[in-house]
Structure 1
Amino acid sequence: MKYSDNGDFCVLYIEATDEKAELLQVISEQQKPVVLVPGNQAKVPRSPDDFSSLRHLKRQLNVPLVFVIPHSGHLTQLASRFGFPVYLSMDALANALAAGQLTRQRLISGPLRSTGPLNQYRSPRRERDSEPLKAETLVPAGFPSTDEIEEVAFVEPPYEEEPPPMIQKIPPRSDPPSKSAAPSRARRPIEPLDEPLPRRPQPRIPRQPPAEQTQPMPTIRPPSRPPSVRGGSQPFRLFMILFVIALTIAGLGSFLFFYNGFPDTSAPPAAPQRVGHISFISSRQLSERSNQGISDQIVVELSNMPAPAPGKRYYAWLLGDKNNGDNRTVRLGVLDIKDGKTRFFYKGDQNHTNLLAFTSRFLITEEDATVAPVAPSPSFDTWRYYGEFSQVPIKLPEEGKEYSYLDHLRHLLASDPTLDKLELPGGLNVWFYRNVSKIMEWSTSMRDSWEARQDPDFIRRQTARILQYLDGSLFVKRDLPSNAPLLVDERLSHIGLLEVAGPTQDPPCFFTHMMTHLNGLLQSPGAASTLRKDATAMVAALNNINGWLQQVRTDAKTLINMKDGQMKQGNTTLSLINNMIANATNAYSGQQDPASGEMKQGVTWLYNNMQSLATMDIAPYKAQ
């Protein structure tokens, strides 16, 4: 472990060989705020248990702890969840100090407030501000400092282009931690820091019938028998032989001709050559009161495009729905072509408007370079490239409803009618993620409280909240003690995460509802070629999450019906809490399958990858 004293605070660089007990001991010796910088191979802190211990120590010593984590979205997520401020780099921390967000005076005087979540995704055209996110514009991601969490708090997942890192299992603890349980081995001296931290389809070629091959005429020898008395029979016999030979050749040629078949003139015309795609992505500037921050940005990636004519430029547009006669347009900007390629990023407007909610088509026009158009030209002669989400409906068994590909997509990523009636905007994906994250928060808070004071009433309240989100407020009464009140806003818990009343449950749970729309995407006309693979992986993740949450529900039902004496007797209560934390964490972050070594994904992966469904193929425009 390396140590650097920066005047008003100290910096601890945690290395691969450092142990948890050693880290806690070093922190306990400090009299000033501590900045913790875990290395890439550091073993601590790694699990929720490690961060829980650090939070206990922080409360006991009243010493502020700040994290600088440049390399791990998982650690960033855990640190912010346990109420620690997190920055991507020392420069970001320095900028925050310089901007007055985290003053030295505040570092010295008392504990720091939790910053907003750090988003691991960085757009190539956009620089991240080092300022923590403000509460009025983004729901805070960290755990509240109080033990009981009454209101919904949205924890923003890290953006992942690769599968998320394996989450370490939370080891069950049979006894509360004790300061006397420190390791007996001697602590290594702290090493001072010498330097400051600075199969493409082939065109079908019609098969031509082979040329008729005529056989050489056999030599007709005169008959050896004596000539007939009737001299006119020989020419007639010769004529018949020639006639039979001609018929044989003609029949053989016809057979070969029809066997090979005529050229296929009935094949449909080839589809326009695809030149690329556009993707709707999210800035994640979210609000619980609107669908903002979801599908509010566009990435355009095209190739094999000729340069525009002299004096012309390419302009990109989003268009409204074709079937509804929606004339709304969004001007994305000018596309610059280099070596036949272009990559363009549209960062959205200042309100982070959800573009998928009212647009479904993409257009490129070639127009005057000197005067930029404010709307696409109505002349189809200027339309060059085009794409759209299919609006052709398909009838589903569910109450005879008809949904198109676009409808299914919007229910998941923009606006679902059932949720809209409850004033839950943004679609199924974001609210499914929010509610699963609440299950993990409430589960984790129970262990700290039980180890500290063993309060059965608090355990029952948190367990009741978990069951209300799992069952839904309409069905939870069957799992609660008689006369038990509902402790969570019924608007937020009206739709449960799990199916608890059979396949006819109304309203359907989140799990069933999302399965319906994923299957609908696969059956709808216009589904992309890669959709089946993507949707299959998402269905597998949903099944994983459902299984883990069912185990949480089983333990919660046992725990809430225990009497005070039963809770305090033995280690049964702590064992149930540990099981609930482990399964809730798996549902949130996923788990590595010990048998196959493959990652079984959770809701964080599902939330991040669901956005990839909103991808549209682009091809040269053809007048319709």
Structure 2
Amino acid sequence: MNVPRVFICYYPGEIPDEGQYLLRQLFNDLRAAGAEVITDAGRNSDEEFSQYIARALPGCQWIIFVQTAETLQNARTRTIFTVALKLAEQQDTELVRIIPTSTGTVQGPNEWTDLNTINIAQDYPKALEKMLFLFSIGDTSSLKQVEAPESSRLPKRISNFSTPSPTYDRPLALPPRKAVFRDMPYTIGRKNMLIGSIALASLIVIALISVVLINVFRPQPPAKIPNPVVGNAYFTSSELFDTDGQKGANDGINVILNNLTSPKADKSYYVWLLPDTQAGEANTIPMGKLSEIHDSTATLSYISPTHNNLLKLGSRILITEENSAIAPSTPTTDKSMWRYYAEIPQGNGPGMPMNNNNGSMNMAGGSQLDHLRHLLYLDPTLQNKDLNVNLQGGVAFWFHQNIQKVMLLAKDARDKNNTATTRSDAIKILDYIDGSQYVSQDIPGGTKFLIDGRVGRIGLLTLDSEHENPAGFERLMGHHLSGLSEAANITADQKQQINQINASVNGIVDRLNMVRTDATKLLANPNDTNSLNDLYTQSTDAYLGQFDPATGNRVGGAVWVYDHIQHLSSFTVKIYKS
């Protein structure tokens, strides 16, 4: 398979913004997936630019135009587009438009209207997935099966309640209940009017006397606040990962509220990320001012400037009403000005002790926050020096990352298709799947461990359920999903999601077992084309899931699993009650 060559027409502005960060991530991800990505790179001389375009563009299968003000204003964009149109007529060159912002998109030229358009800001993982398949880095029988994001595929709104982006068929949260009052239709004949009125008056007198007597002997309960839910918040990931898994995961928070009352004329709503309940309000992170309220709706998107894992730093959200003119650095101490609040259910106990029999955690007593942090931020099993393990990051993070490495190695083996590469890639794949404890049973004696020993200490699969210590990542995932399902305050909807995630993990395990079988076959016969192709197919399905032509989504892979686990760490924002 030839390496796809992609030219991206993009000229960044002087001031970095969200779109620039997304595009930089896209460039890195496309290159990591095997595409050759080239740009103009701001060559100074017009003559040099013309020569470069004449050489570079004809060799590209894909030419992408980024719809930003700076790119549209640059005179070179028009030149590139003119050449690209000619190439599209003369050869198999495809033109694509990318929109890097979720709102406030600049108007593109009419010539771009018919281009295949991808908005990478609305749902970055799905947008990246679509591009990988468009570039034939992923397998698909028809490029037309994957459609551009339309209004039906964007973040949905139910009634007057916004929900998190439905990434990879993410289940939507239920809307808050609203009381509905209807007038009862009636018809009363004039002859019966007087009789009906007398009877009604008698009934009213009797009812009033009954109410008075009941109130004397049974006090009324306090009135409930109707519909205390005002919206929700959820973690996002920029995916600007570092090597330790501490950066780029859960480094953003989106807040979507739409049952709000407006603050006073000189006041605004400010959003804060608070630490756990035991820590009080110390080390609070200011996330900024909520947007202007329109139709009772306001939003806020926050990204850590250092891309730290925010799930580590906080588990509660507070919204206060404070002075519009001067942005506060800490929440007001006047709790009468605290308006809205949310938290991930958390325990107050000492946490979950280690079970030394299998290196995993004793799930008894673990809170929802405990399990989510162990999956998405830091797991004590991965920090157990007695077991010679020293990994930062959560179990779900490494499960996702290592399966991605397996897929890329399988792709490398299939594309290069030579004996030396196939053998090396097959050994590395087995290193990731088996782990350093058990890979010797699948490779020739004396073979070196070829991947990072720190990352490969724990295998993706558990090969000896009775003695393996620590267990493989799939077993650790199962422990935490089981514990999460039994945690206090878990909802029926969340339990259903956890069951779906667990079923998807089981499906991934089945595919990894097939990948393992293919890899061992290739060590014996590197020229086994069937095993080479199946290796790639199974590893791609394990990472990206399987394509569902009915919905246009990929479901069930490691990306889907990680996204759904992250969705479980969402907040239901309610009216604050002290």
Do Structure 1 and Structure 2 share a fold, with TM-score over 0.5? yes
What code does the residue aligned with 2:398 have?
Answer: W
C-alpha distance in 1 between matches for 2:494 and 2:466: 26
SS at 1:160 equivalent: helix
The structure 1 residue matched to 2:409, chosen from 442, 460, 465, is: 442
SS at 1:314 equivalent: strand
The structure 1 residue matched to 2:286, chosen from 331, 344, 347, is: 331
Give 1:241's aligned residue.
none
Contact kept in structure 1, 2:234 and 2:253, CA below 8 Å: yes
C-alpha distance in 2 between matches for 1:334 and 1:446: 50
Contact kept in structure 2, 1:169 and 1:582, CA below 8 Å: no
C-alpha distance in 1 between matches for 2:247 and 2:98: 20
What code does the residue aligned with 1:66 have?
Answer: V
C-alpha distance in 1 between matches for 2:551 and 2:261: 48
Give 1:409's aligned residue.
372
C-alpha distance in 1 between matches for 2:101 and 2:374: 26
1:486 aligns with 2:449: yes
**How far apart are 1:123 and its partner, in Å?**
5.0
Contact kept in structure 2, 1:289 and 1:423, CA below 8 Å: no
The structure 2 residue matched to 1:506, chosen from 449, 469, 474, is: 469
- Over the aligned positions, Cα root-mean-square deviation in angstroms equals 4.5
Change beyond 3 A, Cα 1:496–1:69: farther
- Normalization by structure 2: what TM-score? 0.63
Give 2:393's aligned residue.
426
Instruction: Pick which of 528-537 and 277-286 moved more.
Output: 528-537
C-alpha distance in 2 between matches for 1:511 and 1:503: 15
**How far apart are 1:271 and its partner, in Å?**
8.8
Contact kept in structure 2, 1:412 and 1:517, CA below 8 Å: yes
CA deviation string 1:44-93 (max 9, x = no partner): xxxxxxxx2356xxxxxxxxx434599xx99997786233116xxxxxx5
**How far apart are 1:276 and its partner, in Å?**
0.7
Q: How does 1:278-289 map to 2 (within 5 A)?
A: 278-289=233-244
Q: How does 1:84-233 map to 2 (within 5 A)?
A: 84-85=36-37, 93=39, 122-124=100-102, 158-160=124-126, 168=139
**How far apart are 1:426 and its partner, in Å?**
3.1
Contact kept in structure 1, 2:3 and 2:36, CA below 8 Å: no
C-alpha distance in 1 between matches for 2:488 and 2:532: 47
Give 1:252's aligned residue.
none
CA deviation string 1:522-562 (max 9, x = no partner): 222233554234323322321221111101111222332x2
Paired residues in the alignment total 427
**How far apart are 1:107 and its partner, in Å?**
6.5
C-alpha distance in 2 between matches for 1:595 and 1:617: 31
Give 1:277's aligned residue.
232
**How far apart are 1:125 and its partner, in Å?**
5.7
Instruction: Pick which of 262-271 and 365-374 moved more.
Output: 262-271
Contact kept in structure 1, 2:3 and 2:35, CA below 8 Å: no
Change beyond 3 A, Cα 1:490–1:94: closer
**How far apart are 1:610 and its partner, in Å?**
3.2
Give 2:501's aligned residue.
538
CA deviation string 1:279-306 (max 9, x = no partner): 1111222211351222222211112222
Change beyond 3 A, Cα 1:497–1:400: closer
C-alpha distance in 1 between matches for 2:51 and 2:31: 23
C-alpha distance in 2 between matches for 1:587 and 1:594: 18
1:309 aligns with 2:287: no
**How far apart are 1:417 and its partner, in Å?**
2.5
C-alpha distance in 1 between matches for 2:451 and 2:469: 20
1:81 aligns with 2:33: yes
The structure 2 residue matched to 1:617, chosen from 543, 554, 572, is: 572
C-alpha distance in 2 between matches for 1:127 and 1:303: 23
Contact kept in structure 1, 2:246 and 2:309, CA below 8 Å: yes
**How far apart are 1:504 and its partner, in Å?**
5.1
Give 2:6's aligned residue.
66
Percent sequence identity is: 29
C-alpha distance in 1 between matches for 2:313 and 2:414: 45
1:351 aligns with 2:351: no
SS at 1:384 equivalent: strand
Query: Greater helix share, 1 or 2?
Result: 2
CA deviation string 1:219-277 (max 9, x = no partner): xxxxxxxxxxxxxxxxxxxxxxxxxxxxxxxxxxxxxxxxxxx9998999779711111
1:365 aligns with 2:314: no
SS at 2:509 equivalent: helix
Change beyond 3 A, Cα 1:594–1:518: same
Q: Structure 1: where are the runs of 5+ without partners?
A: 1-51, 56-64, 87-92, 129-156, 171-198, 204-261
C-alpha distance in 2 between matches for 1:616 and 1:412: 17
Change beyond 3 A, Cα 1:380–1:593: closer
The structure 1 residue matched to 2:545, chosen from 590, 593, 606, is: 590
C-alpha distance in 1 between matches for 2:542 and 2:421: 23
**How far apart are 1:309 and its partner, in Å?**
2.4
**How far apart are 1:320 and its partner, in Å?**
0.9
What code does the residue aligned with 1:160 have?
Answer: K
C-alpha distance in 2 between matches for 1:488 and 1:407: 30
Contact kept in structure 1, 2:263 and 2:269, CA below 8 Å: yes
**How far apart are 1:388 and its partner, in Å?**
0.7
SS at 1:305 equivalent: coil
C-alpha distance in 2 between matches for 1:529 and 1:97: 58
C-alpha distance in 2 between matches for 1:598 and 1:313: 40
C-alpha distance in 1 between matches for 2:373 and 2:494: 16
Change beyond 3 A, Cα 1:162–1:268: farther
SS at 2:490 equivalent: coil
Contact kept in structure 1, 2:234 and 2:570, CA below 8 Å: yes
Give 1:53's aligned residue.
2
Contact kept in structure 2, 1:591 and 1:601, CA below 8 Å: yes
CA deviation string 1:115-154 (max 9, x = no partner): 9xx99895536989xxxxxxxxxxxxxxxxxxxxxxxxxx
CA deviation string 1:546-579 (max 9, x = no partner): 111101111222332x2xxxx38xx6x2222222
**How far apart are 1:317 and its partner, in Å?**
1.0
- Normalization by structure 1: what TM-score? 0.58
